[in-house]
Structure 1
Amino acid sequence: MNTPSLFAANLAEHLQLFQQMGPLDTAVARAGTLIADALRADGKLLSCGNGGSAADSQHIASELTGRFINERKPLAAISLTTDSSALTCIGNDYSFDEVFARQLRALGRPGDALLAISTSGNSANVVQAARAARDAGIRVVGLLGRDGGQLKALSDVAIVVPSPVTARIQEAHILIIHTLCGLIEQQLGLT
């Protein structure tokens, strides 16, 4: 019996998921508009997530403050996952569940946007950040997986990747993040 390689199996699973993602188009477009509107009004994008989602949070912030494809002005974006002193101070003095929410309360302003990234939709610290954002008049885009978890209901726009597999969800999240960057640049007339 000829068993497919791990790469071939992963690629097949990846392709199967990506062929099911067409219905996310509307939510992705709405998310791009929400973030572009915040930036257009001199707000900023705050983002957060854990593990690979922390890296994705940093990824979108760097694409916006640097550049995505074409040369353009920098856009205001902050990943709440990058300040190790704040993360460890808040985690130690309060709890790990508060590491993003407390930073958001300090740095966020009404009219900003939060990109809350969680493959399960149930990461307690990301859920707390979304609640803090809503309390502060900050709109929330949930970049999620599985069934969207608790974050789905806390999001103004929920983008839910329909997969139970964390690795495949993260692969989809990167495509969505790159699409959001392109949409933001288009809507701000920067392309």
Structure 2
Amino acid sequence: MRHDINQYIQQHQEMIRKVSEDEVLKNKILKVSDLLVHAYKNNKRLYIFGCGGSAADAQHIAAEFINKINFPRQSLPAIALTTDTSILTAVGNDDEFSNIFKRQVEGLVAEQDIVLGISTSGTSESVVRGLKAAKEKKAITFFFTGECVKEIPGVTDYVINVPSKSTPSIQEAHIMIGHMVCTFVERELFHEYD
């Protein structure tokens, strides 16, 4: 067991090292942060979604924007589309599961809103359809995924692809990146540094 713990920690450290050395990825993180600052200054909203562990990540990241990440400040509008069980089950039952985010995006998202889809594999059909619907509404789309997906033409404006194929490592990086983005956004908007 101790060997397994050490191996897991080493895997995590290796993923962090790869992220820290990836200049393209770091530039994308800064770009996402800048676009969110611009969106919030123009009264736009952030919508986030994913399935399974990525659904939990969507809710986690939305909570950081709504509440705070580092210091008390005004709430920033962020909505996780993974939380309304009535909508999710109605669409899943009456239409099809792959449209659970698409239908919400169609009803909620406005032009120039920010829409973040999360999928460790990059192949979650419900997430891809949600992002595609967001592009059709002229929203700005971000995709948090793993190393296998570089972009999806017509669906993604910015892909944050963590350099890993390991689902746990990708999820850990997604939360770390979500925390960084939220930190940068709140610092820029509220000019306070901890």
Deviations 1:81-120 (A, max 9, x none): 0000000001111111100010011111001000111101
Whole-angstrom distance in 2 between the partners of 1:165 and 1:185:
30
Aligned length: 189
In the alignment, structure 2 segments of 5+ residues that lack a partner are none
Tell me how far 1:188 sits from its aligned partner: 1.5
Aligned-CA RMSD value: 1.6
Whole-angstrom distance in 1 between the partners of 2:55 and 2:101:
11
Whether the aligned pair in 1 keeps the contact of 2:48 and 2:115 (CA below 8 Å) is yes
Name the amino acid aligned to 1:172: A
Whether the aligned pair in 1 keeps the contact of 2:117 and 2:143 (CA below 8 Å) is yes
Deviations 1:45-72 (A, max 9, x none): 0000011100110011111111111010
Whole-angstrom distance in 2 between the partners of 1:163 and 1:153:
24
Residue 44 of structure 1 corresponds to: 45
Residue 177 of structure 2 corresponds to: 176
* Pick aligned residue for 1:18 from 16, 19, 22: 16
| Equivalences for residues 86-101 of structure 1 within 5 A | 86-101=87-102
Whether the aligned pair in 2 keeps the contact of 1:45 and 1:77 (CA below 8 Å) is yes
Residue 148 of structure 2 corresponds to: 147
Whether the aligned pair in 2 keeps the contact of 1:115 and 1:141 (CA below 8 Å) is yes
Residue 112 of structure 1 corresponds to: 113
Other structure's SS at 1:182 match: helix
Whole-angstrom distance in 2 between the partners of 1:152 and 1:145:
17
| Equivalences for residues 27-66 of structure 1 within 5 A | 27-66=28-67
Name the amino acid aligned to 1:30: K
Whole-angstrom distance in 1 between the partners of 2:131 and 2:8:
32
Other structure's SS at 1:114 match: strand
Other structure's SS at 1:54 match: helix
Whether the aligned pair in 2 keeps the contact of 1:130 and 1:151 (CA below 8 Å) is no
In the alignment, structure 1 segments of 5+ residues that lack a partner are none
Whole-angstrom distance in 2 between the partners of 1:190 and 1:124:
39
Q: Which 4+ runs in 1 deviate beyond 2 A?
A: 149-154
Whole-angstrom distance in 1 between the partners of 2:155 and 2:35:
15
Residue 83 of structure 1 corresponds to: 84
Give the % identical residues: 35
Whole-angstrom distance in 2 between the partners of 1:50 and 1:175:
18
